[in-house]
Amino acid sequence: MITPPTPDNENERQRALDATGLLNSGPVERFDRLTRLARQYFSVPIALVSLIDHERQWFKSRQGLDAEETPRNLSFCGHAILSSSPLIVENALEDPRFATNPLVTEAPKIRFYAGAPLHTVDGYRIGTLCLIDIQPRTFSAEQIDMLVDLAATAEELIQVDEISQQSYLSLESELRASRERLTKLVAQLPGTVYQFRRFPDGHMTFPFSSPQIQQLYGITPAQAAEDATPAFERIHPDDLDAISATIEHSSSTLEDWTATFRVARQENDYRWITGQAKPERLIDGSTLWHGYLQDIHEQELARLAMTHSEARLRGLFEFSPIGIALNDFDTGKFIDLNDALILPTGYTRDEFVSLSYWDVTPREYQPEEEKALLSLKTTGRYGPFEKEYIRKDGSRYPVRLQGMLSQEQDGRQVIWSLIEDITERRKLDKMKDQFIATVSHELRTPLTSIKGSLGLLNGGAAGQLPSKAQALVKTAERNAQRLFVLINDLLDMEKLVAGKMPMKMSVQLVAPLLDEIIESMSGYSEQHQVTIQMPDDWPSALINVDAPRLAQALSNLLSNAIKFSPQGEAVEVDVKPYANTIEISVCDHGPGVDPIFRTHLFQRFSQADGSDTRKLPGTGLGLAISQEICQQMGGEVGYREAIGGGANFFIVLPRVLS
């Protein structure tokens, strides 16, 4: 591992970071939106806004990572701030700078890193917007450009905060000076108090101006009282015509004059000025304005930077390949949406906005919608979940939705939603399932024959085999059995997904079912030297289930718990009845489930250790089958961390009350 070198301008860089006021200031939604967007767009588990402090890197915004900071000497970002170009590490194990880094060899096991440096207004690199993956991956030039654009947006947010901080300090200083001047002369205001007069012949003067006019326009109050022309020569050429037009309009209508424009302090060094004045007509036909001019350079730069940042975000919104919608939480009306959402529907934007929610959502998805609404109210987010949308021609297409609740500046609650058209993904899944089903069916018959023949050989049907041959036959029979289990799991999964596995539902007591299932697992638990603990008495509760299928689902959970438990430990089975449901939980005291893997728990072929050298066998289908079985019985399978460590899987089923 190579410790990141210290930049040559480290002292100045650290002062610039401290001056931003970002360190230890808590999360900011503007940065969180960017990291959420980066994580979603690049499909990475971790996205961060990282700030490089004295001895640490501290995360201003983090998605997918619990840690608030890590040591600077271990940081990838410490290397990234050494250059203004993005740092891309496609495989940390192959990079001598990081191959032995504890963040690579241990949790979170970083393999891929992409970081773009963030600059202050003065150009100091104080941190990065970075992406992290636990798998090696490549990064295209287009993706690098998108990362740089997102980093530029984060950088502008930082610079807005920095400018605002400087502006605040500047204004605070001006106010202190103003109070001191007010004790002496009113003329010592932070801006310029003035009278401006335009005569009928076009001649212009400042009959009165406070001393600050010299700083503003480079002329003394006495010179300004003679001729105002030098002041106009200081106005930016692009603003001069507009200023003249506003003066003419105010003179003819006697409406208040207001303007924002640029004035040169030195050659090509312009500052933003704002002014307002009230006009009156004098007896000789001239117009006299009483007004005030003030330097607003920092505020205007901040406003322009904010406008530019919003334009960048609007570009990301409009050109996102995934549908994005903003809805009013109370009324459900669309506030904003992008083209990617409208395109698959066949509607125009005006047509889509005028539709009610149920014009595009089939009624059979109402239970899922109610769950999403409840999740929004309780957790502030919903999904992801899948459903269908109805096109203008009445056809349907599948979508994947997820979103979050947000609050606007006016206090109104809104919902940001990502709506992804998954038609192509569904087609690919269908092709994959058909392929797996075909292969499974074609393999099952010859494999049954092979398995039986190996069993006969192992049992001595062909006579006593040499010891080496006997060992090979046992190994072949064991592997044939594992392949047979995999094929059976594949066929079960196919039937469940296709709805071809009939459920013979009947109302029965939960206690006898559990006793029978636990008894069937006793041999397996003894083989692994693990005990199964259960309460002395089961609750007297009724459930409506297919008993063999429930046994299959619960046996999968029990076998996993036993398999991952240390020898001598116990697996605990418990039942908790609730008002309308019953929960059957299986708790072990093994290593638990890696937080990074938890989102993939119930996906087909998912295994925490997916390598060819994993110590524990399995197909990666057990949890997916259990979930599908329970869902078809009106329930679900879930996971939570066990108290004291380990895994706690549970099955929730509807309870029969009478």
Average pLDDT over residues 449-469: 74
Nearest CA to 157 out of 25, 39, 64, 260 is that of 25
Angle at Cα 317 formed by Cα 340 and Cα 372, nearest 5°?
70
What confidence score (pLDDT) does residue 597 get? 65
Residue 445 has pLDDT above 70, yes or no: no
Residue 115 has pLDDT above 90, yes or no: yes
Least confident of 42-46, 305-309, 341-345: 305-309
Structure tokens that stand for 289 in this block: 């304005």
Task: Say if CB 163 and CB 267 are below 8 A apart.
Answer: no
Res. 423 pLDDT band, cuts 50 70 90 = confident
Between these two residues, 530 and 502, which has the higher pLDDT value?
Answer: 530
pLDDT in tens, 563-586: 889 998 999 999 999 988 999 999
Residue 657 has pLDDT above 90, yes or no: no
Amino acid of residue 199? F
What confidence score (pLDDT) does residue 183 get? 39
Helix and strand numbers, DSSP H then E, in the chain: 20, 23
User: Is the Cα dihedral 302, 303, 304, 309 positive or negative?
Assistant: positive
In this structure, what DSSP letter does residue 566 have? P
Task: Say if CB 422 and CB 400 are below 8 A apart.
Answer: yes
Average pLDDT over residues 435-452: 66
Structure tokens that stand for 37 in this block: 């967007």
Res. 458 pLDDT band, cuts 50 70 90 = confident
In this structure, what DSSP letter does residue 92 have? G
Q: Both ends of the chain: CA-CA distance in Å?
A: 66
Torsion angle of the four alpha carbons 157, 159, 164, 165, in this order, in degrees rounded to the nearest 10: 120
What CA–CA distance (Å, rounded) separates 196 from 289?
5
Structure tokens that stand for 55 in this block: 């001895």
What confidence score (pLDDT) does residue 613 get? 39
Average pLDDT over residues 115-126: 93
Structure tokens that stand for 298 in this block: 């920092």
Classified as helix, coil or strand, 559 is: helix
What confidence score (pLDDT) does residue 498 get? 54
Look up the pTM and report it. 0.36
Res. 118 pLDDT band, cuts 50 70 90 = very high
The size of the chain, in residues, is 658
Average pLDDT over residues 168-182: 68
Task: Say if CB 197 and CB 204 are below 8 A apart.
Answer: yes
Which residues are CB-neighbours of 345 under 8 A, at least 6 positions away?
Answer: 352, 360, 389, 391, 392
What CA–CA distance (Å, rounded) separates 621 from 20?
51
Between these two residues, 473 and 641, which has the higher pLDDT value?
Answer: 641
pLDDT in tens, 605-650: 555 554 443 444 445 677 887 888 888 888 899 888 888 888 899 9
What CA–CA distance (Å, rounded) separates 300 from 73?
39
Sheet holding 413-421, edge to edge: 334-337, 323-328, 413-421, 396-407, 381-390
Portion of the chain with pLDDT greater than 90, in percent: 39
Res. 227 pLDDT band, cuts 50 70 90 = very high
What confidence score (pLDDT) does residue 495 get? 57
DSSP strand E in 302-395: where? 323-328, 334-337, 381-390
Neighbour count for residue 315 (Cβ, 10 Å):
12
What confidence score (pLDDT) does residue 289 get? 95
Task: Say if CB 324 and CB 417 are below 8 A apart.
Answer: yes
